[in-house]
Amino acid sequence: MKNFFRSQKAVSSVVGMIMILALTITSVSVIFLYGVPTIYEMEDIANAQKVEQAFTVLDSRTSKVALGESPSQTTSLSMMAGDLKVNGNNESYNSSKIVIISVDINATWYNSYKNNRHRWGSWKSYTSNPEMNEFNASMGSIVYRDNDRIIGYEGGGVWSKYPTGKSVMISPPEFHYNGETLTLPVMRVQGDSLHSGKSDVDITVSSNNMPVVLYPDPGSDNRRTNPLTSDKVIIYIKSDFYNAWADYANTLAYATATTDDYNSTAVVELEVIPAMGKDSLKSAFKVGSVNPSNPEPIYNFSFDLEARASQGLNPSNYQITATSGTKTLTYTLAKKGGANQLLLDVEYEDTSVGSVETWEHNGIFVVNGAKDDQSSTVDLLSKTYTLEYDENNDFSWDNDSSISLGPNVDYSKGDIMPLYNLTQHYMKLITMDGSVLFTLQQPGHSDPVDYDESTLTLYYDGMPGSITYLHVSRNDLSVNLN
pLDDT tens, position by position, 79-130: 778 899 999 999 999 999 999 999 998 899 998 999 999 999 999 999 999 9
Can you spell out the DSSP letters for 352-419? TTTEEEEEEE-S-EE-BSSGGG-EEEEETT-SS-EEEE--S---SSSSSSSS--SS-----TT-EEEH
Beta bridge partners of 321: 330, 439
DSSP string, 7-41: --HHHHHHHHHHHHHHHHHHHHHHIIIIIHHHHHH
Query: In Å, how far from its chain's centre is CA 56?
Result: 27
Distance of CA 23 to the CA centre of its chain: 62
Position 287 pLDDT exceeds 70: yes
d(CA 96, CA 110): 27
Q: What percent of the chain has pLDDT over 70?
A: 92
221 alpha carbon, distance to own chain's centre: 24
Put simply, whether the predicted model's pTM sits higher than 0.85 gets the answer no
Instruction: Give the H/E segment covering residue 232.
Output: strand 232-238
Does position 214 have pLDDT exceeding 60, yes or no?
A: yes
Cα Rg of the chain, angstroms? 34
Choose from 83-97, 391-405, 456-470 the range with maximum mean pLDDT. 83-97
Residue among 330, 285, 338, 332 at smallest CA distance from 312: 338
- Taking the mean position of all CA atoms in its chain, how far away is CA 349? 27
Q: Which of 147, 77, 80, 135 is nearest to 103 (CA)?
A: 135
